[in-house]
Amino acid sequence: MSEKEVKNLEEIFEARIARDEKIEPKDWMPEKYRKTHIRQISQHAHSEIIGMLPEGNWITRAPSLRRKAALLAKVQDEAGHGLYLYSACETLGVSRDELYDQLHSGKAKYSSIFNYPTITWADIGAIGWLVDGAAIINQVPLCNTSFGPYARAMVRVCKEESFHQRQGYEIMLTLCRGTQEQKAMAQDALNRWWWPSLMMLGPTDAESVHTEQSMKWKLKRKSNDDLRQQFIDQTVPQADILGLTIPDPDLKWNEETGHYDFGEIDWEEFWQVVKGHGPCNKERMSARVNAWNNGEWVRDAAMAYAEKKEANKLKEAI
């Protein structure tokens, strides 16, 4: 195809997206669209998969059967979300194996929030309330993104996500209405998860390199800073109901803007964690890689069994 023809196709393509038409896997698309989507959707999938690890840590120690059943269901949902997203990503012509390879080799990133440890039960509450809360804010606009399989996966994810946040908030509420020690535990979890949750919504607009292109393709409908503000505005009153204090001395309601003002985010910490120097980066990667490697004989055995069964069927037919 000549350069001019590609340019023409690109214009038609951009116009389709501008008209809110969806792009489906077999449609022509610019190489950059394909690559950007593979990167974003796979990162999203990896985050769901790695996201199971901090919470999985508490399944055996959940304080009641009710909490255990809920946490187990939530972690199973994260696995499901990872699978919806991997399958959406594979429609772009990348194999599951390549995607896993990128994760295991460290070439692909996942959300840096999962590199923090879950040291008390209250962390499970804080993750549901804050981390899933921030994830919902990030994900809801993606239900309308331009790539059909991604948008459809996100609709399913968003439907399931609201239980995650509510179960987390309920854990926090129970702790806050409990003993002094329990309330202190909830406050401690909020103190540790607040800032990483704000970072989860991404670098500031000034630092965000992909924003303009992503807006055009509807991979992004609001800027990182707008999403962050939305998260803060909605979360502060929820903390008030719990009777907890947000660990930010500069946080205050601004009558004029109709939003909360908040303090400086430590972006140095964010970039350190992204680069692999967070508290749990190594632990998460090794847990994931070990799970994959140690499961290899099971996958091979299942495949060998399937092939044997198929061969027997053929023999009987003859």
Q: How far apart are CA 44 and CA 145, in angstroms?
A: 14
Phi and psi based region of residue 253 (left: phi greater than 0; alpha: psi -120 to 50; beta: remaining): beta
CA 203 to chain centre: 16
Position among 16, 39, 96, 221 found at the interface with another protein (CB under 8 A): 96
CA 92 to CA 86: how far, in whole Å?
A: 10
**Considering the complex, what minimum distance in angstroms separates the CB of residue 42 from another protein?**
15
Figure out which of the listed residues 286, 291, 299, 312 binds another protein, where binding follows CB under 8 A: 299
Which residues 40-79 are close enough to bind another protein by CB under 8 A?
73, 76-77
**CB of 92 vs another protein, minimal distance in Å:** 13
Q: Which stretch binds another protein (CB under 8 A): 94-102, 166-174, 251-259, 279-287?
A: 94-102
CA 162 to chain centre: 14
Binding mask 151-180 for another protein (x = CB under 8 A): -xx------x--------------------
Stretch that binds another protein, among 23-31, 200-208, 223-231, 260-268 (CB under 8 A): 23-31
Q: What is the DSSP letter of 245?
A: -
First to last CA, the chain: 49
Spatial distance between the Cα atoms of 42 and 34, rounded to a whole number of angstroms: 12
Q: What share of the chain is helix, strand, coil (3-state, %, to 5)?
A: 70, 5, 25
Are 86 and 45 in contact by the 8 Å Cβ rule? The answer is yes
CB nearer to another protein: pick between 22 and 222: 22
Q: How far is the CB of 236 from another protein (least distance, A)?
A: 31
Q: Would you count residue 300 as binding another protein (CB under 8 A)?
A: yes
The residues of the shown chain that bind another protein, judged by CB under 8 A, are: 24, 26-28, 73, 76-77, 80, 83-84, 87-88, 90, 95-97, 149, 152-153, 160, 296, 299-300, 302-306, 309-310
